[in-house]
Amino acid sequence: MIPRLLPLAAALSFVTQARAADADVDGGAPTRQRASKQDVHVAAGPGYAHDAVLGDVVAQSLVVGYRYRWFEPAIVGDFGTPVRGGGYAALGMSLGAVLQTDGGARFGLRGVIGSDSYAGLGCETFCSRGAAATLPYAAAHMSASYVFPSTGRLHLELGVDTFYGHDLARARVAYVTNGGPLGPTALTEERTLGGQRLGVTATVGLTFDTSSSAARLLARR
């Protein structure tokens, strides 16, 4: 009977030693990684927005920022394209507050100042030109994401970004549409550009820790 139990005892001993090796050498407590105090953050993704000029659009967002503790200056881009006719591209600089927790959750709130460019409005399938203008622009972004843990400095990030934007001026522009299903045509029209928009995007990104290794030491739970 005893010889039959020897392999089982050996197996249990091996499992116990393997689990002990994973524990901290000075106390046996499991460890986790602290959130970095500094990182470079890049995130982008598709979504939906409602624009006062274009109506419902397919939206895309882009954020490239550098976080130091709570603060993150960034370059922010918002882009939108309706099913037919034109689009907008808003690009600006932002300064925001970001909370990165040790557990991986990340929350951000930022204000954006920049420009908003409309192009091709009123121009559909058989058109080569449309209404266009570039206006001063301001926006507010609120984001929530999860930064996946990693043994290295590079981390995958998944999240959601919501935004509200507003053109700080409006422009009444004349434009010419060219083209048509039955041959070349030219129509001169006028249109007012500028307004507000509200949207949400699902984002995928990468976060790269730039703080020293001392700031990223393992800490006990």
Cβ atoms of 199 and 162 within 8 Å: the answer is: yes
Is 27 part of any domain? no
Q: Name the pLDDT band for 48 (thresholds 50, 70, 90).
A: very high
In a domain, 79, yes or no: yes
Distance separating alpha carbons of residues 74 and 166, to the nearest angstrom: 19
Q: Find the CATH number of the domain harbouring 166.
A: 2.40.160.20
Q: Looking at the domain assignment, is residue 87 inside a domain?
A: yes
- pTM, two decimals, is 0.75
DSSP-assigned states of every residue in the chain:
-HHHHHHHHHHHHHHHHHHHHHS-TTT---EEEPPPSEEEEEEEEEEEEEETTTEEEEEEEEEEEEEETTEEEEEEEEEEE-SSS-EEEEEEEEEEEEEE-TTSEEEEEEEEEEEEEEEEET--TT-S--EEEEEEEEEEEEEEEEE---SSSEEEEEEEEEEEEEESS-EEEEEEEE--TTS--EEEEEEEE--EEEEEEEEEEEEEE-S-GGGG-EEE-
Domain range spanning residue 214? 35-220
Asked if residue 12 has pLDDT above 90, the reply is: no
Q: Looking at the domain assignment, is residue 181 inside a domain?
A: yes
Q: What is the mean pLDDT of the chain?
A: 81
φ and ψ of 2, to 5 deg: -60, -45
Q: What pLDDT, in 10s, does the model give residues 77-130?
A: 999 998 777 899 999 999 999 999 988 999 999 999 999 999 888 776 566 677
Q: Kindly give the pairing relationship between strand 105-121 and strand 131-147.
A: antiparallel
162: closest CA among 141, 148, 191, 137?
141
pLDDT digits (tens, 9 = 90+) for 145-188: 999 987 789 999 999 999 999 999 999 988 777 655 555 566 67
Tell whether 173 is covered by a domain.
yes
15 found inside a domain: no
Report in angstroms the alpha-carbon separations of 167 from 10, 31, 53, 74, 127.
72, 49, 11, 20, 26
In a domain, 16, yes or no: no
CA distance 194 to 150: 44
In the chain, what's the furthest Cα-to-Cα distance?
Answer: 99
Establish if 22 belongs to a structural domain. no
How many structural domains are present in the chain?
1
